[in-house]
Chains A and B, each alone.
Chain A
């Protein structure tokens, strides 16, 4: 079974550049989450969507970060302009909401390095 698919797996770019991270959730899941993981702060929720609609973006660090979910099978997290402190592993997760408590299933992440 296909799990959550993220691309790219690794991204190295210079500060000031635009970075776009991509996520394909598990087919049939209707909740999608973006997380950031760093040694300093652990796993932090950035934003989540239910049925393609952003519900809570209070975890998005600042206006340089934006996320979209144009359809049920695709989401993007964009950073523009990128800064060295954005370096982290970014995870996407999905779950089947509206059916009681359901675990989130994670992709293998995008390791982002901003030079």
Chain B
């Protein structure tokens, strides 16, 4: 039969504009969240993380916002560049036996930057 793949939502932005990528997470007990960027043919690359005791964290051109009330996470990219074109994943995490984090990934958002 015909196989159906995951439908990745796509966000198209003009170069220089700001991008906002959203993510809803499922586990209210998750206490650590990470955003990853995945370019074609490469592994997910760490962008920024945030702990549940914070609601905002800023990096270089990126900001992550966390709203625990509605279990929502967003990634804001300022002055989007062509090199930002990729699939972006949010991941939620809880502590695991023996230390460390076990991540659950969202389905991803394809960001396309138009010149």
Interface residues of A (CB under 8 A from B): 4, 30-31, 33, 39-43, 45, 48, 50-51, 53, 55-56, 91, 93, 95, 97-98, 101-109
Q: Are A51 and B98 in contact (CB under 8 A)?
A: yes
Report the separation of the CA atoms of residues A48 and B107 in the bound assembly, to the nearest whole angstrom: 21
Q: Are A31 and B42 in contact (CB under 8 A)?
A: no
Q: A42-B6, A51-B98, A93-B43 are in contact. List 18 more A-B contacts (CB 8 A).
A: A31-B99, A40-B4, A40-B6, A42-B107, A48-B100, A48-B102, A50-B99, A50-B100, A56-B96, A101-B31, A101-B51, A101-B95, A103-B46, A104-B46, A104-B101, A106-B44, A106-B45, A109-B42
Instruction: Say whether B111 faces chain A, with CB atoms less than 8 Å apart.
Output: no
Shortest beta-carbon distance from A81 to chain B in Å: 22
Report the separation of the CA atoms of residues A104 and B44 in the bound assembly, to the nearest whole angstrom: 9
| Interface-centre pick from B3, B49, B102 (highest chain A CB count, 10 A) | B102
Interface residues on B, range: 20 to 34
Instruction: Say whether B25 faces chain A, with CB atoms less than 8 Å apart.
Output: no
Q: Are B6 and A98 in contact (CB under 8 A)?
A: no
The listed residue (B6, B43, B108) touching A91 by CB distance below 8 A is B43
Q: Are B101 and A50 in contact (CB under 8 A)?
A: no
* B6 contact set on A, CB distance < 8 A: 39-42
Instruction: Say whether B88 faces chain A, with CB atoms less than 8 Å apart.
Output: no
The listed residue (B32, B49, B105) touching A43 by CB distance below 8 A is B105
Interface residues of B (CB under 8 A from A): 3-6, 31-32, 34, 36, 41-46, 49, 51, 89, 93, 95-105, 107-108
Report the separation of the CA atoms of residues A39 and B107 in the bound assembly, to the nearest whole angstrom: 10
Report the separation of the CA atoms of residues A106 and B104 in the bound assembly, to the nearest whole angstrom: 14
* A41 contact set on B, CB distance < 8 A: 6
| Interface-centre pick from B6, B49, B98 (highest chain A CB count, 10 A) | B98
Report the nearest B residue to A50, measured CB to CB.
B98
Report the separation of the CA atoms of residues A11 and B46 in the bound assembly, to the nearest whole angstrom: 26
Shortest beta-carbon distance from A3 to chain B in Å: 9
